[in-house]
Amino acid sequence: MYGSNIVIGLACLWLTACSPPNELEDHFQTYLKRVAHVLEVAEPTLSRASALPPLPPQRALQQQQPRVSTGLLDALKLGRCGLLDMVGEHNSPIGKSRTAAAQLLYHLTFQQGLQRCLANTEDAELTGWLHDIAAQKAPLLPGYHWNMMVAEPDIRAALTPRQRTLAFAQQDGYQETVNAFILFERLQAEARGKKPGVRLLTQKELNQALSGLYRNEYLGRLFYSLHSAAHYLDQSLAFLQQLEHFDCHRGGRIRAERLRNAMRRYYIDGIQGYFGRIDRQFVELAPLLQSTLNPPPARQEQMRVYRNHVGAGLHSEIYRRYRSLTLAHARLWQRFLQRCDISPT
């Protein structure tokens, strides 16, 4: 019996260690508890924010890409461009099992090889054939980029909203996420033909970017942090409405100053600093997400809900609501301090 109690106790400790508390909720609960203490009312009980819409399944988003094929005699012309071995490797069993990221890099490298060959040949027949192949391949490249964004396991994992907020002390994984999406945007520009002649990324560079996303929950937790911030602000505003009717006269002024101090210590010095960090981080990532997660027409509807919530740049629902409620919270305190004639500092 004693031994089983030890086992249960250790299991509880293990579960506690693996399930850290929601720091943002704890900070809001402390903040509102201090305000409630000064107001001499019961503190509110906060509820957790709901889950965000998930990233749709890969099978619903990935697009089947048409193949550009040629006859054997025509294909031999690729040997004159140094591309025949590359094509042979791509068509081998190993090549066909490549990841979506490797597929994109192959097609970009092949297209660049065609352009290089065009620039170095004076054979009119070969030039015409190369132009025809390049023209057929070019419209397909953005589709390979899209498939990478929605099918590559590490990218999908990064884009998946979590149900844990980011830590207050340090937001691990931020820089690795920024670096990866900057690279994805560069690949996207290359796929759209907007950066011709630029050195193409190597497989090693692409792998390094993807490895930065491996087991990196930063982005999914950033989404949930902004979503939770709006949720707790909304609940706080419902509780703080009683400040609108607070009697600032007589002994009320001393209590008003204590309320101001509680707000400064627990909200401005604590929560607002955290908000500033995740706000700046989302502002940097938002345009990268918006451009690299821009679905083709046939996948617009499948991505609509997810994209509206987290992938529409600074117009994303999680960011717009967070900003709106942050402003409403600040204005409520501003009205209170002005009415009670108390300096904010």
pLDDT at 197: 59
Predicted local distance difference test score (pLDDT) of residue 20: 53
| Residues of the chain falling short of pLDDT 70 | 1-21, 69-75, 195-198
Cβ atoms 240, 35 nearer than 8 A: yes
Taking only the tens place, the pLDDT of each residue in 257-278 is 999 999 999 999 999 999 999 9
pLDDT at 74: 66
pLDDT value, residue 22: 86
Q: What per-residue confidence (pLDDT) applies to 319?
A: 98
Both tokens of 88, joined, read 């042979």
